[in-house]
Structures are given as C-alpha cells and as structure tokens.
A and B are shown apart, each in its own frame.
Chain A
Amino acid sequence: MIGDRRIRVSVNGTAYEVGVEPRTTLVDFLRADLGLTGTHVGCEHGVCGACTVLVDGLAVRSCLMLAVQADGSEITTVEGLEGPEGELHPIQEAFLEEHGLQCGFCTPGFLMATYEMLTDDPKPDEDEIMEVLGGQICRCTGYQGIRRAVDCAIDKLGGTRPADVFGAGGPEGPDAPDAPDADPVGADGAGEGSAR
C-alpha cells in the first residue's frame, strides 16, 4: 500500500493539513475525510456534474481530480455558499424561490457552476447559460425551474460578484477575462504568462 501524502488545502476558508492516499479522488476526500457531504457523487466519470466544486475559483469535476492535486488550493463547496448567520446565498434563494430543484441531489453542482458563471459574467446571455449548465445533468426538473432560478439569481445579484454578497471572505471567482494573468497576452500579442 502506498503511504499517505500530506496536503494543505483551504476549504470554504478553513485550512486543513491532512494525510491522504494518493489515489483518493478529491470528491471522496471532501466527503469522507473532511465530512463535507454536500458535494455529491453522481457518475465518477465527469459527465453529470453533481460533484462540481470550485478549485481556485474554477468550477471543476471533483471526481476527475485527485486530492493530492489540490495541495495548496482554495476549494469552495456548497457548504461555503451560505452566509455567516446561515443566510442563503442569493443563488440559493433563487433556486428556492423558482423551484429550481426537486430531489436536490444534482443541486450543489448546479449552484457551483452557476456561481462561477455569474462570477465570470454577471449578465450571461442564453447561450452562455446553456453552455455552462449544459455541463450539469438534472433528472427531475426538466431544467425549467433551473432556467428561472438562474434568471432570478442574476436579478438578485444585480451585478454583485457572488463572492462579495456577504462581504469580503467569500470564495474568489476566476479572474475576469481581461485580468493581467488570465489572458497574459498584451495587445501586441507577444506577451507570456501563466494560464491561471
């Protein structure tokens, strides 16, 4: 048996330093080792999106990542969305008000994907919504309530970044497209930089 690796991660603002077997997937680590069971396992091959979490602000499949790969990362799960007093995040409120969920199993993934989308663009158009949420499967709602919920969340946020709803300390979203280190290339097209 291969020994555990120590990793450091920040999950929903809490720092952890934990030993983990290299083969452990990130979703199993979050659920079994940290007890954060709000993130759900739907297919373990990256299609359904139930396990979607934010890693350094980007929505990713936590079944398609090893926990050891998250060493040094900031992770946000559904448990990190609510406010300090247990207030629902506006995205969560929107799903509640618009019947954006039935069984609720896929919902954390939809919330996290929506969170990244609205961080990236506070007013996504229909195509953008289809593009992002097309990567998440729901078997209950037929997506109609989810469509309404996303529209409602856009209105509720009114341009506020999802991370800023409860003041500072919310999970950082991905950098905006024109931020210097996201698209490192200058106008002359000759720059060099990091992909992240």
Chain B
Amino acid sequence: MKPAPLDHAAPTTVGEAVALLNDPEREAVALAGGQSLMPMLNLRLARPDLLVDLTRVEGLDHIRESAGWIEMGAMATKRAVERSSLVRERQPMWHEATLQIGHPQIRNRGTVGGSMAQADPAAEYPAAAVALGAEVRAVGPSGERTIPATEFFLGYLTTALAPGEILTEVRVPVIPPGRGWAFREVCRRHGDFAMAGTAVTVDLDASGRCTATRIALFGVGPVPARAVEAEKIVDGEAPGEEIFERAGRAAAGAIDEPLADVHASADYRRHLAAVLTGRALAQAATRAGRPEGS
C-alpha cells in the first residue's frame, strides 16, 4: 500500500496552481487536505503524475462573512470551521454538518474544498451546500466562475469542475433569523460515512405554515439532490408528524438509483432517508421561528 511514483508541486498562488494543473505533459491532480485522496494514492487507485498541493496557496483558507454569505476558502480545514464562532453562530447547520465528518484527527487536515470536490455521495458538506443554496467558486485557465451547489454535483464522485479548474471558495448564505434547520444522519459507527442523511431548512410564514422548505438527502443517491416534490408537500402546510412523514417518504421515493453496499441495501437507505427526513423536518420546524435560529 504505497503510492505509485508521482511528482509533487506546492504552488503559492492560484495562478501557478492552475498552470500546473493544466500541464499538457502530465496528468495532474489537485491535493487539498488529502483525507480522501491519500488513501486512493496509497491503494494505487489514483496514480497521477503530479500532485498540485494547494496547502501553500495563499488566500485559500479564510472563513469570513460578507454580505450575508459565509465565505470559506477551499483550504480552510474542517477543524477551523468547527472552531469558528462565526460559522457556529451564523451558519449553525454548516457547523453541525462539520461535527459529523469523521473525527478531529481527520478534520484537522480535511478541507472544505476537498470535501466538495471529492463529491462523495455520503459526505456531509455537499448535502448541506445543496440544502442551503451554497455556491462554489472555481478558477480555471479561462478565469473565475461561480457555480450554484445545486448544479455542482453531477454524478457519483463527479462535479462540474472542468479539468484544470480549482475550487477556491465555498459560499454559504447565513441562516436568517427564524429559519429552522436540521442535519441528521445514520451511520454504522459514529464518524463513519452516512448510510443516509438529510439536511433540511424550514421557514414558517405569518400563519405558522411551512414555507421555503429545502430538503437535501445524502448517502442515498449518487449525488446530493434536493427533494423538490417533498418540499412541495410541506410548503403551505402546518407542521405536523403526518405531513413530515409523507414528505420523508416522498423525498426518499424520488431517488432514482439508491446506493447499496455492505452496510446498507438500497431499500434500507431509502427507508432511512424517509425516517430521517421526517425527523429532520420536525426538528427544523420546531427550531423555526426562534430568534436564535438554533
């Protein structure tokens, strides 16, 4: 279990990194925190000629608020996010999602951008990003662009990043006062990838009915996706166990190709997704309307 021969470059600017990634002579791969890529390298399941290590690129590890968005540099570690009082207070779902990722020893190196670019279907950040309406900033040879999270995840371990493009920032809207949220997952052991998970936000209108509901499932389908039909079931209704359970079943039922592995069959994942979504909607609705939003 040793990596195949590879070269390593540690650029200090985004421009250099993009240039290295676009070396026509060599197959280059960006290395962020390495917590997913390094096992692949050790197993020789990934064998690039060149690792473009983003660790030393300047300006990629910020965590800040700007105009209603929490902006996190791609190389901000999950541990830094976890410890950020800004994220905890202004985007508590993102904070909660962070705590579900592995263990501190993994979060110490794993990065926000790495998790998004890896696009593991059972990962927490992609689902939170989809539910929260996050955006991804990427820089490539032809400049910078912004991609909505809902358009970023294309398939199993596949994103909208073009070859040679680097994810530089993830921007997540702050949770506005009064919006309820919940982030739940079921794992075999704490810290494992989820067999199913759900990220939910719910607003309550003046009459106490649900509105602007957003539901994103993970660990079930090949990509985290919004459960639009289920959202419609909830919106306009008063919070209630029956409606949330129905929405949960709808959300889970809408997944085309549920994943299956040694831990959970497709049926079971779908079932968990339904249960979790129902529970999460209830939790989010309970939180909705509270001034602290938590």
Q: Do A25 and B42 have beta carbons less than 8 Å apart?
A: yes
Q: Please report the C-alpha to C-alpha distance between residue A102 and residue B42 in the assembled complex, in whole angstroms.
A: 29
Chain A contacts for B105, CB-based, 8 A: 49, 52, 59-61, 113, 132, 135-136
**Interface stretch (choices A8-16, A88-96, A154-162, A183-191):** A183-191
Q: Please report the C-alpha to C-alpha distance between residue A63 and residue B65 in the assembled complex, in whole angstroms.
A: 34
Chain B contacts for A189, CB-based, 8 A: 64-65, 86, 89-90
Q: Please report the C-alpha to C-alpha distance between residue A192 and residue B64 in the assembled complex, in whole angstroms.
A: 6
Q: Please report the C-alpha to C-alpha distance between residue A113 and residue B107 in the assembled complex, in whole angstroms.
A: 13
What 1/0 mask marks residues of chain B from 88 to 106 whose CB sits below 8 Å from any chain A CB? 0110000000010011111
Q: Do A177 and B83 have beta carbons less than 8 Å apart?
A: yes
Q: Please report the C-alpha to C-alpha distance between residue A33 and residue B75 in the assembled complex, in whole angstroms.
A: 29
What 1/0 mask marks residues of chain A from 61 to 83 whose CB sits below 8 Å from any chain B CB? 10111101101000000000000
Q: Which of A2, A44, A59, A136 contacts B42 (CB 8 A)?
A: A44
Q: Do A132 and B104 have beta carbons less than 8 Å apart?
A: yes
Chain A contacts for B270, CB-based, 8 A: none
Q: Which of B5, B41, B61, B104 has the most CB of A within 10 A?
A: B104
Q: Please report the C-alpha to C-alpha distance between residue A128 and residue B3 in the assembled complex, in whole angstroms.
A: 34
Q: Do A23 and B104 have beta carbons less than 8 Å apart?
A: no
Chain B contacts for A17, CB-based, 8 A: none
B77: CB under 8 A from chain A?
Answer: yes
Q: Please report the C-alpha to C-alpha distance between residue A194 and residue B83 in the assembled complex, in whole angstroms.
A: 13
Q: Do A60 and B108 have beta carbons less than 8 Å apart?
A: yes
Q: Please report the C-alpha to C-alpha distance between residue A65 and residue B42 in the assembled complex, in whole angstroms.
A: 10
What 1/0 mask marks residues of chain A from 164 to 196 whose CB sits below 8 Å from any chain B CB? 000000000000010000111100011111111
Q: A173 to chain B: closest CB distance in Å?
A: 12
Given A45-B42, A69-B55, A135-B103, CB of A2 within 8 Å of CB of B5: yes
Q: Do B102 and A185 have beta carbons less than 8 Å apart?
A: no
What 1/0 mask marks residues of chain B from 41 to 58 whose CB sits below 8 Å from any chain A CB? 111000000010101000
A103: CB under 8 A from chain B?
Answer: no
Given A182-B83, A195-B75, CB of A68 within 8 Å of CB of B109: no
**Interface stretch (choices B6-14, B206-214, B233-241):** B6-14
Within 8 A of A (CB), among B13-46: 34-35, 38-39, 41-43
Chain A contacts for B190, CB-based, 8 A: 130-131, 134
A106: CB under 8 A from chain B?
Answer: no
B232: CB under 8 A from chain A?
Answer: no
Chain B contacts for A68, CB-based, 8 A: 8, 10, 53
Q: Which of B39, B51, B64 contacts A64 (CB 8 A)?
A: B39
Q: Do B108 and A2 have beta carbons less than 8 Å apart?
A: no
Q: Please report the C-alpha to C-alpha distance between residue A134 and residue B101 in the assembled complex, in whole angstroms.
A: 12
Q: Do B106 and A185 have beta carbons less than 8 Å apart?
A: no
Q: Please report the C-alpha to C-alpha distance between residue A44 and residue B42 in the assembled complex, in whole angstroms.
A: 7
Q: Please report the C-alpha to C-alpha distance between residue A183 and residue B64 in the assembled complex, in whole angstroms.
A: 10
Chain B contacts for A49, CB-based, 8 A: 105
Q: Do A22 and B103 have beta carbons less than 8 Å apart?
A: no
Q: B239 to chain A: closest CB distance in Å?
A: 29
Q: Do A58 and B79 have beta carbons less than 8 Å apart?
A: yes
Chain B contacts for A1, CB-based, 8 A: 5
What 1/0 mask marks residues of chain B from 217 to 255 whose CB sits below 8 Å from any chain A CB? 000000000000000000000000000000000000000
Q: Which of B2, B8, B86 contacts A185 (CB 8 A)?
A: B86
B271: CB under 8 A from chain A?
Answer: no
A38: CB under 8 A from chain B?
Answer: no
Q: Which of A71, A113, A195 contacts B73 (CB 8 A)?
A: A195
- Nearest B residue to A187 by beta-carbon distance? B85
B276: CB under 8 A from chain A?
Answer: no
Q: B287 to chain A: closest CB distance in Å?
A: 21
**Besides A23-B41, A65-B34, A195-B75, 13 other A-B contacts (C-beta < 8 A):** A22-B8, A23-B6, A28-B2, A60-B105, A113-B104, A113-B105, A135-B102, A185-B84, A189-B64, A189-B65, A190-B65, A192-B62, A195-B80
13 CB-based A-B contacts, threshold 8 Å: A5-B8, A44-B39, A49-B105, A60-B105, A65-B109, A66-B38, A69-B34, A131-B104, A131-B190, A136-B105, A184-B64, A195-B73, A195-B76
A-side residues, CB < 8 A to B, are 1-2, 5, 22-23, 25, 28, 44-46, 49, 52, 58-61, 63-66, 68-69, 71, 113, 116-117, 130-132, 134-136, 177, 182-185, 189-196
B-side residues, CB < 8 A to A, are 1-8, 10, 34-35, 38-39, 41-43, 51, 53, 55, 61-66, 73, 75-77, 79-80, 83-86, 89-90, 99, 102-106, 108-109, 189-191
